[in-house]
A and B are shown apart, each in its own frame.
Chain A
């Protein structure tokens, strides 16, 4: 019964996503939403399934966006190869930062990832190829392996949607794999998992790298969609936003981060023209409400309610 309801839900959602461009929804908005949903899903892999709160995920999101944009604009690379190299750079960055950060856990882990992401921010600010305060503007979308051009918003939308669905299914696969089960065991009780013979550090590092790779993919896609990579992509506030998206929807649930990012992105779109700086205040207030009132997030609380019934 429960499974069939989930199937119906996903089928409807998928049909909705396929039809969305014809329902009068602004494609750029939809694509931005999907990119952030991808980012939040990547982040959730760490916070939700491994219990590691990274406060610096903008570093991977932004650096990959910068690398992809730079390769396309200054070096004339094709879209797909620039996407892949952008992801590789964020993978490498995740490996280096991960190796340092997993030496501590809990609250220290959060502080270390935050500080190292700030380091990446300053490198992006000063590096010669990032365009400083202006960022890299006017990134062309190019085409996919010479088969079809991505310049049209509708084509780009389906391209982004395809990647998102693929990654979403991939994350489900990872979480349900033996590797994902060990991650959950480590989250619940690390000494116990270690005593059972699992290398906690290896598992943590691997999920860290995986999460940063996917966050990089989200960043590169966002740069292609909007045609620019700027400092705000690597900024601490972006790291904060992805935490909020995941928490609000529900960390440790598959659909939570998607719902959370949809709410946050929609709020930002609706409010930014009308209320200016109050957007920051509203985001902060949602944080406070989330922590005080529903720590499991919307989807998490709903699932808990369903289980109680």
Chain B
């Protein structure tokens, strides 16, 4: 079995792996988007910008502070999370009671600012980031060569997604969070400081996006525009999955990444639009999304 409809299995598996890598990024981003939307009622357009900031933070941590990848894995999400916290206090907290469209517009404006500043400081061309030493090279698993870094990205991001799911769905902290989503006033009456929780939730969601940025830094060019097109795909993923469910956004993120990967082999011209086409079909068939409740 070295051929599959005339396509070498090697190529197919290679694209499957790439699709899984992209899919894990989609999953991490749509997960953060879903958590933020659940508690804040804000569709965070700046999610792509925070992903980009995560990748730039990684690059700066190496270039300026001369600290490697493993440091960046911890420091970049924390620093981007702090920026998120600041923005939540400065702007977003005033928008919770009005039409959610304003939150979308505000975060769109914020992402334009971030993009413009970084383009001015670092230029439009991309920066390359080396793959960390420990994860260089490839594994020979018999039927194909597995690049270790890609496997690491998939394993790391899926574990993070699973941990997030576990924290939200299975722990006491998560149940408070979900309760605050349903009825913030009641939770506040039980003596929980909901505004602080909201702030940390935003920081957490944004840190997830930054973490995806760190993981992606060695596999893509770090450029100011890397977030703006990604966030649109992630929006489509969220519409397909339905924003209500955490597991739904993880599954649809990974699934769509894989479908996109296969499309690259079978019909490359459509690989950019396949996610949007699937979104259109899902909307006609199930307007609330695959995992949405309505």
Contact = CB atoms under 8 A, between A and B. Distances in A.
Contact-residue bracket for chain B? 35 or more
B112 A287 contact: yes
B32 to A, nearest CB: 15
A270 to B, nearest CB: 16
Given A122-B273, A284-B110, A286-B109, A107 B280 contact: no
A78 interface: no
Interface stretch (B18-26, B73-81, B116-124, B258-266): B116-124
A118 interface: yes
A43 to B, nearest CB: 13
B116 A281 contact: yes
A104 B112 contact: no
Interface stretch (B97-105, B166-174, B184-192): B97-105
B102 A291 contact: yes
B120 A291 contact: no
B276 A276 contact: no
A111 B105 contact: no
Interface in A275-289: 276-288
B101 A285 contact: no
A278 B110 CA distance: 13
A291 B116 contact: no
Given A240-B112, A284-B112, A100 B283 contact: yes
B232 A236 contact: yes
B96 interface: no
B119 A277 contact: yes
Contacts of A285: 109, 113
The prevalent SS among residues of A at the interface is helix
A115 B106 contact: no
Contacts of A125: 272
Contacts of A53: 101, 104
Contact of B116 (A104, A284, A290): A284
A134 interface: no
A103 B294 CA distance: 13
A119 B229 CA distance: 11
B228 interface: yes
Given A115-B236, A119-B277, A288-B91, A103 B110 contact: no
B194 interface: no
Given A119-B273, A277-B120, A280-B116, A110 B283 contact: no
A156 B141 CA distance: 68
A122 B275 CA distance: 12
Contacts, number: 124
Interface string A114-149: 111011001101100000000000000000000000
A280 B117 CA distance: 8
A110 B235 CA distance: 10
Interface in B244-294: 269, 272-273, 275-277, 279-280, 283-284, 287
Nearest to B113: A284
B35 to A, nearest CB: 15
Contacts of A240: 108, 112
Contacts of A281: 112-113, 116-117, 120
B293 to A, nearest CB: 14
Contact of B280 (A55, A100, A236, A278): A100
A112 interface: yes
B181 interface: no
Nearest to A275: B120
Contact of B105 (A100, A108, A247, A280): A247
Interface string A220-259: 0000000000000000100010010001000000000000
A124 B111 CA distance: 25
A158 B234 CA distance: 44
A111 B112 contact: no
B239 interface: yes
Interface in B106-165: 106, 108-117, 119-120
Contacts of A278: 116, 120
Interface of A: 53, 55, 100-101, 103-104, 106-108, 110-112, 114-116, 118-119, 122-123, 125-126, 236, 240, 243, 247, 276-288, 290-292, 295
30 contacts: A55-B104, A100-B280, A100-B283, A101-B283, A103-B287, A104-B287, A106-B101, A107-B43, A111-B238, A115-B236, A116-B279, A118-B229, A118-B276, A119-B280, A122-B273, A125-B272, A236-B228, A240-B108, A243-B105, A276-B120, A279-B116, A280-B112, A280-B113, A281-B112, A284-B112, A284-B115, A291-B95, A291-B106, A292-B91, A295-B98
9 closest A-B pairs by CB? A287-B109, A284-B112, A280-B116, A281-B116, A284-B113, A119-B276, A115-B236, A277-B120, A103-B287
